[in-house]
C-alpha cells in the first residue's frame, strides 16, 4: 500500500458513518463542474454532519491534504474542481432544514439543501429567499453562498450577501466557527458572514446557514419593450432605475441576442427590433398598476418600437419567450461558448456594449450580450470553439480586452458566477497589490496550510 492509500485508509477509518469512495467512477464524477474543467480527486467523501466535516478538515490539516467542498457542481468558473487532487468533500447529503421561524422570517438549513427546497418551505407561509439563479431548482444553498449567487431579482432584493444572517463553518484547521446572528440588525464584532459569502470555500467550509426570508409580493406584472437600437434600450434602463418604482427584474438582450432568439422561436417583435428589455414589477395589489405606469413612462422615449404588458400566465410566457429561446440557440450555435458575467455602473452600459461590438469586429468573434441590466450585470458570450487553436488564440486576447474594458468603466469582473479558476489570473487587474496582500493574510489566518480549495479565487501571493 502506497503513502496515498495509507492516508486515505486512515481517513476512512475516522468516518464510520460517512460514505467515502476511491472508486474511479465516483472520482471522475466529482472531478468537474459546469465549467467543464477537470481535476481528479483522490477520494470523495460524502459528509452527513457538521462533525464529519470537522473530522475531515482536522485530518486534512494534519496531513496537508487539499480539500475542495462542493454541492451539486453547478458552478461555471471551475470553483469546485479539485485541481490539486486530494479530497472532494461533497455536502449534497446534508439537506436538513434545522429551524424555521416564519414570524422571524428566517430559516436555518444545512449547506446541501437545495435552493428550491428552501423556496418551497418558505412559500407555504408567503415568504421567499432572494437568490434566484437559473440553477435554483438543483443548486445548493451552500453553493449559492460560496459563489455569492444572485439572479434576475437581485436588482430589487440583492444577492446572497444580502440574504444570509449567519453561518456555521469549519476552517482549514478543522475549527468550528459561527458568524452573524438571527436578527436583521447586528453589529457586534467583525462581519465574518459577508466575508465568507462569495469566498468559494477558500476560507472555510460552510455547513449551515441562517437565511433571511422576505414576504412574497401580492402581485406581479411582466412587460416587454422593443427598441430600435441598443443605445435606446440602455438609455431606457437608466431612466427606469432613476425613478422610485423599482422593478424586480430588468433583463436586457442586445441585437445579436435578439437575432439568435428570432432564429429559434416565432417571436412577435417589430422587424426593426435591435434590443429588448424584459421587465417585471411586483408589489401590493392596490399599487402595482401605478408602479407599472411609472416604469412604462420611464421606458418610453426615443427608439421605443413596441410596449407590451401581460396580465395572464399565458401572456407572461409569451413575453418571456425571447429570453427562453436564447439559451438553446446559444447551445446549438456554440456549445463551448465562453460566458462571462461582468458588471459595470448602469451609466456605463452603453459604453460597455459599444466597446464589446468593437472587440467582436476586431477579433472576428461573435459576441452575444444579455443579462441583468438593472444592476449592470451583463453576460458576455464569446462564441468560439476551444478545439480550434486559432480561435482560442483570438478568444484569449479578446477576453483579456473585455476585462480591461470593464475595469476601465469602473466595473468588476464577476457579479454572481464567482472567480474560481476561470478569472483567477485576472484578479490582480482589479484588486491592487496592497489589498491582495491583506486578502492573502486573511486566507492564511483561516487556512494556514493552504489546503482549502487551493488555486482558486486569489492569484498567487
Q: What is the pLDDT of residues 188-217, one digit of tens each?
A: 999 999 999 999 999 999 999 999 999 999
Q: Model-level pTM?
A: 0.93
Dihedral sign, Cα of residue 128, residue 132, residue 136, residue 142: negative
| Alpha-carbon gap, residue 381 to 330, rounded angstroms | 9
Parallel, antiparallel, or unpaired for β 338-343 and 106-110? unpaired
Within this chain, do residues 361 and 305 fall inside the same structural domain, yes or no?
A: no
The CATH number of residue 392's host domain is 3.30.70.2740
Q: Which domain holds residue 84?
A: 3-90
Dihedral sign, Cα of residue 30, residue 33, residue 36, residue 39: negative
| Alpha-carbon gap, residue 396 to 375, rounded angstroms | 27
Name residue, grid cell 425571447: 322
For the cut 80, the answer to whether the pLDDT of residue 325 exceeds it is: no
For 42-83, the pLDDT digits (tens) are 999 999 999 999 999 999 999 999 999 999 999 989 999 999
Q: Name residues whose C-beta falls within 8 Å of residue 422's C-beta, 6 or more positions apart in sequence.
A: 35, 37, 76, 77, 78
- Residue 56 has φ and ψ, to the nearest 5°, of -60, -45
Within this chain, do residues 211 and 224 fall inside the same structural domain, yes or no?
A: no
Of 68-82, 110-124, 150-164, 313-327, the range with the lowest mean pLDDT is 313-327
Residue 260: count of CB within 10 angstroms of its CB: 25
Instruction: Compute the half-sphere exposure of residue 150: CA atoms within 13 Å on the CB side of its CA.
Output: 27
For 437-455, the pLDDT digits (tens) are 999 999 999 999 999 999 9
CA angle (138 as vertex; 111, 71 as ends), nearest 5: 35
The separation between CA 335 and the C-alpha centre of its own chain, rounded to angstroms, equals 20
Indicate the residue among 330, 365, 392 that finishes a domain: 330
Q: Is residue 450 part of a domain?
A: no
| Alpha-carbon gap, residue 141 to 207, rounded angstroms | 10
Within this chain, do residues 62 and 101 fall inside the same structural domain, yes or no?
A: no
The CATH number of residue 199's host domain is 3.30.465.10
Within this chain, do residues 297 and 344 fall inside the same structural domain, yes or no?
A: no
For the cut 60, the answer to whether the pLDDT of residue 428 exceeds it is: yes
Amino acid at each position: 500500500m502506497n503513502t496515498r492509500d495509507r492516508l486515505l485508509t486512515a481517513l476512512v477509518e475516522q468516518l464510520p458513518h460517512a460514505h467515502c469512495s476511491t472508486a474511479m467512477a465516483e472520482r471522475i464524477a466529482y472531478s468537474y463542474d459546469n465549467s467543464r474543467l477537470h481535476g481528479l480527486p483522490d477520494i470523495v467523501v460524502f459528509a452527513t454532519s457538521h462533525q464529519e466535516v470537522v473530522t475531515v478538515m482536522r485530518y486534512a490539516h494534519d496531513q496537508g491534504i487539499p480539500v475542495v467542498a462542493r454541492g451539486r457542481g453547478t458552478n461555471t468558473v471551475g470553483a469546485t474542481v479539485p485541481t490539486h487532487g486530494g479530497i472532494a468533500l461533497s455536502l449534497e447529503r446534508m439537506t436538513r432544514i434545522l429551524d424555521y421561524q416564519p414570524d422571524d422570517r428566517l430559516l436555518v438549513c444545512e449547506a446541501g439543501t437545495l435552493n428550491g427546497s428552501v423556496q418551497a418551505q418558505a412559500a407555504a407561509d408567503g415568504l421567499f429567499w432572494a437568490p434566484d439563479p437559473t440553477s435554483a431548482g438543483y443548486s445548493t444553498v451552500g453553493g449559492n453562498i460560496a459563489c455569492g449567487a444572485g439572479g434576475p431579482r437581485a436588482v430589487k432584493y440583492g444577492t446572497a450577501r444580502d440574504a444570509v444572517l449567519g453561518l456555521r463553518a469549519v476552517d482549514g484547521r478543522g475549527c468550528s466557527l459561527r458568524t452573524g446572528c438571527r436578527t436583521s440588525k447586528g453589529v457586534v464584532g467583525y462581519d465574518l458572514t459577508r466575508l465568507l459569502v462569495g469566498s468559494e470555500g477558500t476560507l472555510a467550509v460552510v455547513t449551515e446557514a441562517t437565511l433571511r426570508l422576505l414576504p412574497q409580493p401580492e402581485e406581479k406584472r411582466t412587460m416587454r419593450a422593443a427598441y430600435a437600437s441598443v443605445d435606446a434600450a440602455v438609455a431606457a434602463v437608466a431612466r427606469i432605475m432613476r425613478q422610485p418604482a423599482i422593478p424586480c427584474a430588468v433583463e436586457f438582450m442586445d441585437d445579436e441576442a435578439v437575432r439568435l432568439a428570432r432564429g429559434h422561436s416565432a417571436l412577435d417583435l417589430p422587424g426593426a427590433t435591435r434590443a429588448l428589455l424584459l421587465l417585471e414589477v411586483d408589489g401590493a395589489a392596490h399599487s402595482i398598476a401605478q408602479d407599472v405606469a411609472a416604469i412604462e413612462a420611464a421606458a418610453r422615449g426615443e427608439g421605443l418600437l413596441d410596449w407590451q404588458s401581460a396580465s395572464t400566465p399565458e401572456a407572461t410566457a409569451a413575453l418571456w419567450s425571447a429570453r427562453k429561446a436564447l439559451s438553446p440557440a446559444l447551445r446549438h450555435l456554440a456549445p463551448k461558448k465562453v460566458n462571462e458575467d461582468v458588471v459595470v455602473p448602469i451609466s456605463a452600459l452603453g459604453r460597455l456594449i459599444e466597446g464589446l461590438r468593437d472587440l467582436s469586429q476586431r477579433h472576428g468573434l461573435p459576441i452575444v450580450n444579455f443579462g441583468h441590466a438593472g444592476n449592470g450585470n451583463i453576460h458576455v458570450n464569446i462564441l468560439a470553439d476551444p478545439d480550434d487553436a486559432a480561435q482560442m488564440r483570438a478568444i484569449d486576447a479578446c477576453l483579456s480586452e473585455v476585462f480591461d474594458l470593464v475595469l476601465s468603466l469602473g466595473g468588476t469582473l464577476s457579479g454572481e458566477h464567482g472567480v474560481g479558476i476561470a478569472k483567477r489570473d485576472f484578479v490582480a487587474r482589479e484588486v491592487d497589490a496592497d489589498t491582495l496582500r491583506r486578502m492573502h493574510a486573511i486566507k492564511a489566518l483561516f487556512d494556514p496550510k493552504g489546503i482549502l480549495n487551493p488555486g482558486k479565487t486569489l492569484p498567487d501571493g
